[in-house]
Amino acid sequence: MRKFLTPKGMIGVVMVSLIALIGILAPLLLDPAMATKMHMTARLQAPSAAHWLGTDQLGRDLLTRVLMGARTSLEIAVAAVLISVVLGLPLGMISGYAGGRVDNVLMRLVDTLLAFPALLLALTISAVLGPNIQNTTIAIGVAFTPYLARIIRGEALRVAQMPYVEAARAAGTTNAAMLVRHILPNILPVVIVQATISLAFAILAEAGLSFLGLGTQPPNASWGLMIQASRDYLEKAPWTGLVPGAAVALTVLGLNMFGDVLRDVLDPRAK
Amino acid sequence: MTYVLNRLLSLILTLFLISLITFAVTNILPGDVAMMIMGTQSNPAALAGLRESLGLNDPLLVQYWHWISGMLTGDWGTSLIFKKPIAELLGQKMMASALIVVMSMAFALAAAVPLGVWAAVHRDKWQDTASSTTSLLGVSLPDFFWGIVLILVFARWLGWLPSSGYKDPSEDFLGALRHALLPAFALGLGLMAHLTRMTRSTMTGILGQEFIRVARAKGLSEATVVWRYGLANAVGPVITVAGLQIGYLFGSIIVMESLFNFTGMGWLTYQALLNRDVPLIQATIFVIAAVVMIVNLIVDLLYLVIDPRIRLG
């Protein structure tokens, strides 16, 4: 616990909690319609008392949009990481625990998938399924699965060689019971650390996909979409791009700091 | 030698699997190639005829065989949107992308290695904090955001560099460099941050080892200890990680080239995906994955040359 009390740990925890709170509370406290309501007379206004962070090219309040965007980004990122854990955990665990031919075949498949850049894989899947929030989530989740499976497999392999696993096997524990009772609890710390770091990447991936128009679709508020829309107005109204850019940066920064400290606390391999 | 042969054999197997996955994924795409060519308003009889002549009614396995044998013999088909032979198109675009990929990698390594070593040498001092804070910021901002900021500063405000477009280096070398500079720099920033963190952690581990203490005890200068003894041992891992980042770079160029209108592989892939140009999607995805695999293999073999300790079998 002491490691959470370092400046980096504290900042990470505070940032992640704040962003999570915003994601949960924003749609309850703010009127969601505000995020999509256009005011053609109030286009590209600089930050003021009426609009704290200014307005975008359609006169929409940027503060509302960026807060609502937090919900979109977090929802997609959390669900995508969950998908990759649900797919990657059994894949990696069975591969590492079974070893031999099973491991060879599964890891050959995973290595092949790793040859496709994650963003390319996510973009292709999203294009194939048709871009919307649900398919973007699936695309990112599937694209991240091989990375997670690889790491979990290594960890399962390490744990499978522990004396207590051998002892359990000698005591007649079945394979299924072994995986659930002995392997899973012992690789869980690494899974949690990796999932946290994946969240940061998922936020970046969602922003990238939406930026290219193959992710979240307008009029939904998404940070990537907001950055995309700001491209033509950056000179006149730099805040339209800087606000969502800063939102992505702060969220990913918080998650990375949190993930780093979490690794120090949980990961047995970290010194 | 056996190791190299084994790796080559496994590369061929992986390339085969890559081709299977590519073909499978792109075949789920709704709409078909015949419709793409003739438009949605076309005569159903003509459409059926074209489908037949394109082999779209054949079983999937037969279609796969046609595709993969074409890829192997250099007949990569014709792009539906560009109306050009795909092999020729990919050749040009690959060269364009190679320019920014190599430039960004060179830039990232040139900055990351000294910065990482500097942080490791001054471990837990302000230099370390400064370096790790900068690199944390670097990995946290999406690279397209860097791209936009760079366009704003260097193209719009200062007017030093063009904000978009691509020039062929064989026609206008200086112009090509000027056009490639901003996208390469934006790509390199995130990469640099990642490699700095990696260099720092590797060097920290090395500098704590026994042989470094011995070198210092012998009275060697600190510079010799750090750069000749320390860095020599860090080069292998750093190069391996840099090589693995090629995959990341080929993902990032899709966004970056579209942002800078830099007509390379990434831009081409994006156009293919947006317009559902199936033959082009298949070829670009396959080629990118193959390049990533081959670069990884080269890096692994390079590792053998650099570090004599791990010449396996």
Model confidence pLDDT, tens digit, residues A76-121: 999 999 999 999 999 999 999 888 899 989 988 898 888 899 999 9
- Selecting from B142, B249, B270 the residue whose C-beta is nearest the C-beta of A207 gives B142
- Selecting from A117, A231, A241 the residue whose C-beta is nearest the C-beta of B251 gives A117
Query: Which class for A197: exposed (0-12), middle (13-18), buried (19 or more C-beta within 10 A)?
Result: buried
CB A266: neighbour CB atoms within 10 A? Answer: 16
Distance (Å, rounded) from C-alpha A62 to C-alpha A39? 12
Contacts of A118 in chain B (CB under 8 A): 247-248, 251
> What angle, rounded to 10 degrees, do the helices at A62-98 and A133-160 form?
40
Mean pLDDT of A3-27: 81
CB B53: neighbour CB atoms within 10 A? Answer: 10
- Selecting from B14, B148, B258 the residue whose C-beta is nearest the C-beta of A241 gives B148
Residue B48 forms contact with A (CB below 8 Å):
no
> Cβ contact (<8 Å) for B145 and A249?
yes
> Cβ contact (<8 Å) for B156 and A231?
no
Chain A interface test: which of B25, B32, B128, B145 (most A C-beta within 10 Å)? B145
| ipTM of this complex | 0.83
How many Å lie between the alpha carbon of A154 and the closest alpha carbon of chain B?
Answer: 18
> Cβ contact (<8 Å) for B25 and A124?
yes
CA-only gyration radius of chain A, Å: 22
DSSP state letter for B78: B
CB B21: neighbour CB atoms within 10 A? Answer: 18
Q: Residue type for A82, please?
A: L
Distance (Å, rounded) from C-alpha B76 to C-alpha B291? 16
Local confidence pLDDT in tens for the 313 residues of chain B = 788 888 888 889 889 999 998 888 887 766 566 766 666 677 777 778 777 777 777 788 888 888 888 888 888 888 888 889 999 999 889 999 999 999 999 999 999 888 888 888 888 888 888 888 888 888 888 888 888 888 888 888 888 988 888 888 888 888 888 888 899 999 998 889 889 988 888 888 888 888 888 888 888 888 888 888 888 888 878 888 888 888 889 989 999 999 888 999 999 999 998 888 888 998 999 999 999 888 888 888 887 777 666 665 4
Considering only residues B305 and A140, tell me which one the structure prediction assigns the higher pLDDT.
A140
Chain B interface test: which of A120, A135, A228 (most B C-beta within 10 Å)? A120
Nearest CA in chain B to A108: B14
What does the pLDDT read at residue B313? 43
> Cβ contact (<8 Å) for A208 and B142?
yes
For the CA atoms of A228, B104, A73, A126, the dihedral, rounded to the nearest 10 degrees, stands at 80
Residue B142 forms contact with A (CB below 8 Å):
yes
How far is the CA of B107 from the CAs of A51, A219, B114, B240, B264, in angstroms?
A: 40, 38, 12, 17, 19
What does the pLDDT read at residue A271? 46
Residues 6-65 of A with CB under 8 A from B: none
What does the pLDDT read at residue B29? 64
Q: Assign residue B188 a region: left if phi > 0, alpha if psi is -120 to 50, beta otherwise?
A: alpha
Nearest CA in chain A to B21: A113
Mean pLDDT of A116-139: 90
Residues 278-297 of B with CB under 8 A from A: 281, 285, 288-290, 292-293, 296
